[in-house]
């Protein structure tokens, strides 16, 4: 029978010369892929739940309206307010805002603009119907109500 020789221990050193390059590539990757929030939300948001949800295909055609009680109650009061982009606006300013949002789009896409209303679940229907009326006046017919999750029956 043949004798088996014991293998000598190999060194377990990991080459660290490429480590700074790898760390730099990871850092660069996360810097490029991170998306920061564009708008600071100034109103409270407790989004209601829904029974039927649909996913949107083209998110570039969506403009967001936030409706809810202001976070800074001392400055803005307790009544529900409307936020468009980074500013609080009144219902009379919605037509102007929609026209500004349409101007950002190309001529072919202006009729396809969708307004997404992210409304706090505690807001009454009065301010929401006022916003709907102003959106009709601005000829923004596609309206989306944001919701989270499905209701479990």
Domain ranges of the chain: 49-150
pLDDT per position as a tens digit, 3-21: 777 777 666 777 777 888 8
| One pLDDT digit (tens) per residue for the chain, 153 residues | 667 777 776 667 777 778 888 899 999 998 888 877 777 777 777 777 777 766 777 778 888 899 988 888 888 888 889 999 888 899 999 999 999 999 998 888 888 888 989 888 888 899 899 999 999 999 888 888 887 665 554
Alpha-carbon Rg for the chain in angstroms: 27
Helix (H) or strand (E) holding 103: helix 94-103
For domain 49-150, give the fold.
Answer: Nucleotidyltransferase; domain 5 (3.30.420)
**Nearest one of 63, 42, 43 to 123, comparing CA atoms:** 43
pTM for this entry: 0.64
Query: Residue 80: helix, strand or coil by DSSP?
Result: coil
Distance CA 100, CA 108 (A): 16
Cβ distance 81 to 67 under 8 Å? yes
| pLDDT value of position 1 | 62
Cβ distance 98 to 140 under 8 Å? yes
Cβ distance 127 to 67 under 8 Å? yes
| pLDDT value of position 149 | 63
């Amino acid at each position: 029978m043949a004798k088996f020789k014991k293998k000598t221990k190999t060194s377990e050193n990991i080459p660290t010369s490429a480590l700074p390059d790898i760390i730099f590539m990871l850092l660069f990757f996360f810097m490029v892929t991170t998306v920061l929030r564009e708008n600071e939300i100034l109103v409270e948001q407790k989004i209601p739940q829904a029974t039927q949800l649909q996913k949107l295909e083209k998110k570039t055609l969506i403009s967001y309206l936030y409706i809810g009680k202001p976070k800074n109650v001392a400055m803005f009061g307790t009544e529900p307010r409307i936020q468009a982009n980074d500013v609080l606006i009144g219902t009379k300013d919605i037509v102007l805002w929609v026209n500004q949002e349409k101007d950002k789009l190309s001529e072919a896409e202006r009729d396809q603009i969708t307004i997404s209303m992210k409304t706090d679940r505690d807001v009454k229907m009065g301010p929401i119907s006022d916003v709907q009326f102003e959106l009709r006046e601005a000829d923004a017919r596609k309206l989306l109500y944001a919701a989270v999750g499905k209701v479990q029956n």
